[in-house]
Amino acid sequence: MEDIGDSNASRSARKGLQATAPGDEWLKDVAKGASRDAGNVPEEFLGDYLPMLAHAATFGQRPARSDLEAVRLLGRRAAESGISTRRGADLYLSAARRVWLELPAVVRERNSAAVRAAAEALLQVMEEAVATFAEGHAEAGREMVRWEETNRRELIEDLLRGDAHLGELVERAEPFGLDLTRAHRVALARPGQRLSSIEAATRSLERVVVDRVGDRDVLVTTKEGLVVVLAPGETPPVDKRTSRRSSPTDTLGGLIHAELSRLRRGGPWRVAVGRAHPGAYGIARSYEEAREGLITAARMQLTSPVVEGQDLLIYRVLFRDQPAIVDLVHSVLDPLREARGGARPLLDTLEAYFECGGVNTATAQRMHLSVRAVTYRLDRVRTLTAHDPVDPSHRFILNAAVLGAKLLGWPEHELPDPSAALRSD
């Protein structure tokens, strides 16, 4: 931001009423009254505006460019001090009204034409000053928005990386309402279609998330084509008086997916939510879980549009020891290649069978097959692998192997040599 504190125009603006001529002492009372009228906006934000009004009404003098520049800088200072444009305008309008009412008698003794000219000159100064004040206020406001957005992005980048100095993170997070001693979680949303600008997706989403979980400990931004939501570790429960049944939007992931799905472009959206972890470095951990969730959901072709971190733990366990899962898939499922039609039909049947809770009828309905066909395929699995899907002790091994095959893209992609994978581990 521009440093206006040391500029010549700023120093001129700060002189305020001290710059008034000896005969202008009455303007001090005008300044106090205008301040009260505007809700106690400090008188210093009038600068040399009152003498400008008095001189315009008395001598028809228009403000110099330097005078208006000082007013513009006062508008910037007002924005930086948290004074709204409306309150600043109220201050200037009230001051103009009071100046006209309190003008010395010499002005009122003029003829009607002279009084009209004085009023026009005063109104001209008022219009130019108010417009210039608002312009300076808007300039500062835009710069503050850009500054806040830049700092927000840099803060989130450092939080997601998890490698910044903790003390600096705590200090930088405080203005954004983040308490880094609390538990937080990170949600990532990926559009199914390319968007020309993903920024628009964050605006409405931020309002919805803030309305649901509060305005503290919430940040919404974008990163590498993804929408990033940082939220408290626990989502407030739904008010039972207004919602008796659970809804997909009761969860953070469901809330995000529902809001983004309302957008005209970008769908279908996939949302992954990391688990809640305490501390600043817990944010980076939750982010990694959410990112891994998006990758796993795509690789496993999961049908659910919302993936929770805790639901992917089994996949993380399986894939953490890749040599072991390669060995499991190779040892248990490789014999399925000998089946007529290859391993894929039997793998799909096993996957549907496990997802249906081991019920042949439900499996048949899902796969649009007869129950007899499902039973035949399960028998072929037992014959080829020596593992019976109906036997609980065998079912776990087969289920883990099927999940591992999906993670590895088998049988469409060849498995690494299990013995070589184990040697390189």
- Residue 388 and residue 304 share a domain: no
Q: Residue 150: inside a domain, yes or no? A: no
pLDDT at 105: 55
The CATH number of the domain holding residue 52 is: 1.10.490
Using CA atoms, how far residue 148 sits from 92, 100, 267, 416, in Å, is 29, 41, 29, 50
- Beta-strand ranges (E) seen in 254-370 are 270-273, 277-278, 306-308
* 257 within 8 A of 269, measured Cβ to Cβ: yes
For residue 22, give both structure tokens.
């000896």
Query: Domain end: 97, 128, 145, which one?
Result: 145
Q: Residue 75: inside a domain, yes or no? A: yes
Quote the pTM value.
0.60
- Residue 270 and residue 357 share a domain: no
- Residue 352 and residue 239 share a domain: no
pLDDT at 2: 41
Which residues does 261 contact at the CB level (< 8 Å), separation at least 6? 267, 268, 269
- Residue 20 and residue 137 share a domain: yes
- Residue 57 and residue 42 share a domain: yes
User: CA–CA separation, 359 vs 395, rounded Å?
Assistant: 13
The CATH number of the domain holding residue 362 is: 1.10.10.2840
Q: Residue 279: inside a domain, yes or no? A: yes
Q: Residue 132: inside a domain, yes or no? A: yes
pLDDT at 317: 75
- Residue 360 and residue 258 share a domain: no
Count of Cβ atoms closer than 10 Å to residue 325 Cβ? 23
Query: Domain end: 289, 315, 341, which one?
Result: 315
The CATH number of the domain holding residue 235 is: 3.30.70.270
User: CA–CA separation, 46 vs 92, rounded Å?
Assistant: 7
CA angle (272 as vertex; 304, 286 as ends), nearest 5? 150
- Residue 346 and residue 292 share a domain: no
- Residue 15 and residue 118 share a domain: yes
Q: Residue 165: inside a domain, yes or no? A: no
Q: How many domains does the chain have?
A: 3
Q: Residue 153: inside a domain, yes or no? A: no
- Residue 309 and residue 326 share a domain: no
- Residue 300 and residue 194 share a domain: yes
3-class state of residue 374 by DSSP = helix
- Residue 328 and residue 256 share a domain: no
Residues of the chain predicted below pLDDT 50: 1-22, 106, 237-246, 421-425
pLDDT at 245: 43
pLDDT at 418: 56
User: Which residue range(s) make up the domain with 365?
Assistant: 321-424
Count of Cβ atoms closer than 10 Å to residue 240 Cβ? 8
Q: Residue 160: inside a domain, yes or no? A: no
Query: Domain end: 270, 300, 315, which one?
Result: 315
- Residue 292 and residue 402 share a domain: no
* 389 within 8 A of 395, measured Cβ to Cβ: yes
pLDDT 10s digits, 207-223: 888 888 877 788 888 88
Q: Residue 169: inside a domain, yes or no? A: no
Burial 385-410 (b: 16+ CB within 10 A, else e): bebbbeeeebbebbbbbbbbbbbbeb
Alpha helices in 83-184 (DSSP H): 85-102, 105-108, 112-161, 166-173
